[in-house]
Structure 1
């Protein structure tokens, strides 16, 4: 039986849902990148709650923090924000002007870590609002998504440097170049197999990197699909979005790929495993899409190339 996909309109037309995260309150929290707002949707309820921000805001990625709040990056106003469960928003401007923060994730040290795409820096913000910044040695590297790895370090994609970076809590930095030229990694997630999984938007591939530096790349059925975001699933699998072809994909640790069609032109970006066991995706066309579990789909086993 095929898995059904439902859509839930959120925000005003053109507001552009971009990232979505499962909050500790059992709700889905999302950013409205063109609508200068955050949103909250409880699975099973028909309507979302919208939390307006300043009109110049460009909220990007949102993630649950260790303090029970949701933390987000605002590239338009160059700040990191905190949204409490009651909707109260606190904002923390970054020390570096024009930093354009993008990715954000909870670290193993009880703080939030984020990327500064325009400043070639990795930032750290404590739940008390104290900010530290760590410059990267690569210029115009465009650090993008960041996650806590299985080794206690922070890992991040370097979109324009065609590499994956690792920053230890003591400040030690390592850079892992990718085998495929101009792969342009964007999304990154920690897999249940102890590896880091990432999307190669420029190469139409999913990558896997072990903490010791071994890289595997899995070619997707359509090389022009432009995979964007990636997130861990419930059974050790990884889910990802294909921006150009409007599909939601699933890849297992052995490289088997499933794909699910989304509405044409819907521009899927961020995704998460929801509290209801479904996969939720932010469609920039104006909705959150819900893929109900479980069911068969088109499969395509692929062979990795190891470097």
Structure 2
């Protein structure tokens, strides 16, 4: 078991594995960096690049919540952006091959094709603060941070909302897995899982740990970043914590990505952490 760190700059937030490289957004400086040392300046210091994913077109895509855009960097290094109003934050590749994002201030989801065509779909509620998003079962699933619920939307825009059992839980991260969709509740120190038929289970995490991001594993469990605890936790398919990895006081782990038997984590303190174990 070992943890390696790679300094990448100020404020790593999201992380993605794409094109034989590890990418991270630098939320405080308007840049995107790679583990190997490449840095892409977006020319917009206040753009707040946040969640980043491997796109369907030999490129990484990422949300720019500070200036209402989705950014794109091709594996060839070409940087571009598409305007999407509403403070885009969460991001995933949908079952239709388009990029889908949450619009925090717009109470909507945005859909962006690789050709730059933009559509928006209301989520049917106001001031719910849609956060992270994932694709599962041919639909889009997303956390409603202020709505205390999990939402799901068909490709046609039909929305279903499932309230969470714990009040004021503050759901943030979400990830599709083998037996359902995992999510984390940053204000309640819990992880949760929701099945296709709407059944919700919740699992306790260390008090005060403030879970932020989650990535489902092939065995039915998941990895979770514990932001306030400065650590990484692994849950099995029954929701039991089977492993916890210390990342250091003040490390502030945010996004994570899985690479076979290892985990990459963006530490807002200034580095990418790579855990192999």
Shift of 1:223: 2.1
Partner of 1:89: 79
- Does the 8 A contact of 2:219 with 2:237 survive in 1? no
Partner of 2:230: 246
TM-score by length of 2: 0.97
Q: Does 1:175 align with 2:156?
A: no
Partner of 1:30: 24
* Distance across 2 between alignment mates of 1:285 and 1:69: 26
Report Cα offsets for 1:117-171 as digits up to 9, x if no partner: 111110000111000001122111000000101x200000000000000000121
Q: Please, which of 15, 20, 24 is the counterpart of residue 20 of structure 1? A: 15
Q: Does 1:209 align with 2:203?
A: no
* Distance across 1 between alignment mates of 2:120 and 2:270: 34
* Distance across 2 between alignment mates of 1:164 and 1:122: 14
Runs of 4+ in 1 over 3 A off after TM superposition: none
Shift of 1:66: 1.2
Shift of 1:226: 0.5
Partner of 2:62: 72
Unaligned runs of 5+ in 2: none
* Distance across 1 between alignment mates of 2:95 and 2:116: 17
Asked which structure has the greater CA Rg, the reply is 1
- Does the 8 A contact of 1:189 with 1:198 survive in 2? yes
Secondary structure of 2:272's counterpart equals: strand
* Distance across 1 between alignment mates of 2:162 and 2:52: 26
- Does the 8 A contact of 1:28 with 1:274 survive in 2? no
Shift of 1:254: 1.2
Question: What is the RMSD of the two structures over their aligned residues, measured on CA atoms?
Answer: 1.1
Unaligned runs of 5+ in 1: 42-46, 294-307
Partner of 2:254: 269
Shift of 1:234: 4.6
* Distance across 1 between alignment mates of 2:23 and 2:54: 9
